[in-house]
């Protein structure tokens, strides 16, 4: 069985590193962490992940949703939103880009594993 490579896009480095530890503890490989959309686009090309975990708020509003649209359309990669936003407006906007999952923070290692 080959290892699944995941890219984490999260502007809070403490959360990103916690996610990395959780993922590695259940057998996934994290091929990169990006704290901005710009860095994410670079890593998407360089690392060729199998799945992308995207925070909706990357410190500049809803930038994660527009990034997810590119992940879906340009890279044809599955992605899961990992966010603390559960309001109807944000969820409805996020649904428009067809995520493969929507995981609310805070989450556990098991929650993350099941979502993937």
Three-class SS of 46-97:
HHCCCEEEECCCCCCCCHHHHHHHHHHHCCCCCEEEEECCCCHHHHHHHHCC
Spacing of C-alpha 83 from chain mean position? 9
pTM, two decimals, is: 0.95
Residue 60's pLDDT is what? Answer: 73
Residue 61's pLDDT is what? Answer: 65
The residues facing 54 across adjacent strands are 9, 81
Show the low-confidence residues of the chain (pLDDT under 70): 1-2, 61-62
Residue 62's pLDDT is what? Answer: 64
Is the preceding peptide bond at 14 cis, omega within 30 degrees of 0? Answer: no
The tens digit of pLDDT for each residue in 27-52 reads: 999 999 999 999 999 999 999 999 99
Residue 2's pLDDT is what? Answer: 66
């Amino acid at each position: 069985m080959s290892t699944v490579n995941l890219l984490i896009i999260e502007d809070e480095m403490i959360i990103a590193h916690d996610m990395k530890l959780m993922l590695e503890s259940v057998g996934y490989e994290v091929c990169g962490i990006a704290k901005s959309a710009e860095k994410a686009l670079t890593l998407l090309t360089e690392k060729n992940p199998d799945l992308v975990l995207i925070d909706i708020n990357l410190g500049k509003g809803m930038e994660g949703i527009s990034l997810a649209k590119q992940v879906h359309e340009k890279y044809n990669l599955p992605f899961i939103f990992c966010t603390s936003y559960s309001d109807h407006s944000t969820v409805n906007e996020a649904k428009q880009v067809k995520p493969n999952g929507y995981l609310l923070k805070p989450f556990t290692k098991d929650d993350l594993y099941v979502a993937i």
